[in-house]
Structure 1
Amino acid sequence: MTYAPAAIVFTDLDGTLLDHHSYDYSAAIPALNLLKSLDIPVVLASSKTAAELAPLRAELGLVACPAIVENGAGVLQPHESADTIQSEDYAYIRATLDQSPVELRQYFNGFGDISDVEVAQITGLPLANARLARQRCFSEPGLWTGTNQQRETFLAHLADHDISARQGGRFLTLSRGKTKADHLASICNRYGNPKVIALGDAPNDLEMLLAADIPVLIRNPDAAPLSGLTAPQNARLMRSTLTGPAGWNEMIQKIVPTLTHSQEGD
């Protein structure tokens, strides 16, 4: 990069930058404008596909920043469009699935095995959004219908082929093992390793938050409580009093001036 920003922001979307129910971000606009005025990059980090995330990144005026997609399985590069991503990860996962023993494979029903209409029915997404959610580059979510023992045998088979799995609230998602936190260091390096602010609202954001210099938990009454934190980790977490984009705005407005004033004093 040709400049060294005072900080870099990594942010989850649903329940954090976007309202948990309406998906509106208008309450965060003042903080977004502040970051833009200071040339502080904002890296969106989401479970969404590149096809889903690219329009929102453009709407937010963040096309010059990379975005972490598919829960960290891959990265949408600056100015890149979803249809120009060059990755063999998804094709490899699908090929490995197709070569798996049928007595295990039959219990995993991935997005590549079902239609846009079926994804819409399972997720509640509008059909157009379901179509974008199926345009995958790096990972494969699906429903597991076998027993726990069969699941463990299935996952062991995939692990032998360098494919890992994470169980979410609904889907078992297969990937090559990358997470949101894995991309944090490499993206920061592009910007000269500035202070990292990371914002999230749920347990699946915790790994990214703890990898940041300034971890921020956005209040979300609908999210599961965090568990397994050590006392020092819990003490490091900053917490918003407001929810969603209002909480995002609250914390960015609180944190960023302290960083820029500190940089001016150096």
Structure 2
Amino acid sequence: MTQHAPGTPRLVVFTDLDGTLLDHGTYAHDAAGPALAALAARGAPLVLASSKTAAEIAPLHRALRLGRIPAIVENGAAVYRPGEPGRGAAGYARLRRVLDDLPVDLRRGFKGFGEMSAAEVARETGLAPADAARAKRRAHSEPGLWTGSAGGRAAFIAALAAQGVTVRQGGRFLTLSFGGTKADRMTGIAAELGADLTLALGDAPNDVEMLEAADFGVIIRNDHGPGIGPLPGEATGRITRSARPGPEGWNDAVLGFLATHPAREAQRTHG
């Protein structure tokens, strides 16, 4: 377990992955190395929050040496806990049934991972074949591409909403689920980890709720997707924007935050 000095504020950092901590094209996080080291030195838990599956998150979680810290997966539909079994894929099967029961004219504009081979997922995402196969191991949500009209997209989203399915726009894909957001999961995990101060970082519309729910948020510059429009917290400085994209911007933002919110706590190690 993480040791915490009584009476001192505890920082917990929540971060999106693709286009934020991970480079949009290469999925590397090397440029964020100094900030990752600074967080580890401070003993601030890093919580990964992504639309990725638990199967995708697990290798990165190990590579970052995050120990027993939970991670938010499938866009907030579930929480990954290292060493604990998943809950199966019944939710995904139900989601696919709802999707396939839509009228043909609404359904045809959306191509989800369920219709794609691992090779197609690799082509659309730039993932290596093995990582693309992990991306298809979904339990709770369905990402996909919308190729129809804007009006058709709105009708598609409305039809799914009538069936209890929420749709969120990420950096690359629309992601469908039966609810649960990164912000919902962040609240519970922050309490679990004893957070006194939370920082969230993200680059796409599906990160907005998390950025707004954190004590402080950073919008990472997005040069490849829809990005994030102006948020109320920017007027007060509670939410800021990085000058650089991806892990470079992430590194700048985290180091800048730590400099303006210096540690007043004992160093900790994660167990």
TM-score class, shorter-chain normalisation, is 0.7 to 0.9
Distance in 2 between residues matched to 1:170 and 1:243, nearest whole Å: 15
Q: What are the within-5 Å matches in structure 2 for residues 41-190 of structure 1?
A: 41-80=45-84, 84-86=86-88, 88-102=90-104, 104-144=106-146, 151-168=153-170, 171-190=173-192
CA deviations on 1:130-162 (whole Å, 9 max, x unpaired) are 211111111112344555555555444432321
The alignment of Structure 1 onto Structure 2 pairs a total of residues equal to 262
> How large is the Cα RMSD of the aligned pairs?
3.1
State how far apart, in whole Å, the 2-side matches of 1:27 and 1:34 are: 13
Could you say what secondary structure the match of 1:20 adopts?
Answer: coil
Name whichever of 163-172 and 23-32 sits farther off: 163-172
Structure 2, unpaired ranges of 5+: 267-271
1:6 corresponds in structure 2 to: 10
Q: Do the aligned residues in 2 keep the contact of 1:210 with 1:233 (CA within 8 Å)? A: no
Structure 1: gaps (5+ residues): none
**8 A Cα contact 2:168 2:205, kept in partner:** no
Residue 208 of structure 2: which of 202, 206, 209 is its match? Answer: 206
Question: Residues 100 and 16 of structure 1: is their aligned pair in 2 closer, same or farther, counting only changes over 3 Å?
Answer: closer
Question: CA 1:23–1:152 in 2, change beyond 3 Å: closer, same or farther?
Answer: closer
Q: Describe the superposition over 1:213-260 as per-residue Cα deviations: whole angstroms up to 9, x where unpaired.
A: 121233455565542433754632234444433333333233235545
Q: What is the deviation of 1:212?
A: 1.1
Distance 1:127 1:68 in 2: 23
2:13·2:46 contact (CA, 8 Å) conserved in 1? Answer: yes
| Counterpart code for 1:12 | D
TM-score normalised per structure 1:
0.81
Higher helix share: 1
Distance 1:86 1:227, change over 3 A: same
Q: Distance in 1 between matches of 2:160 and 2:136?
A: 21
- Distance across 1 between alignment mates of 2:248 and 2:135: 27
The alignment status of 1:36 with 2:46, answered yes or no, reads no
- State whether residues 165 and 177 of structure 2, in contact with CA within 8 Å, keep that contact through their aligned partners in structure 1: yes
Match of 1:197 among 196, 199, 204: 199
Q: Secondary structure at the match of 1:235?
A: coil
TM-score, normalised via structure 2 length: 0.80
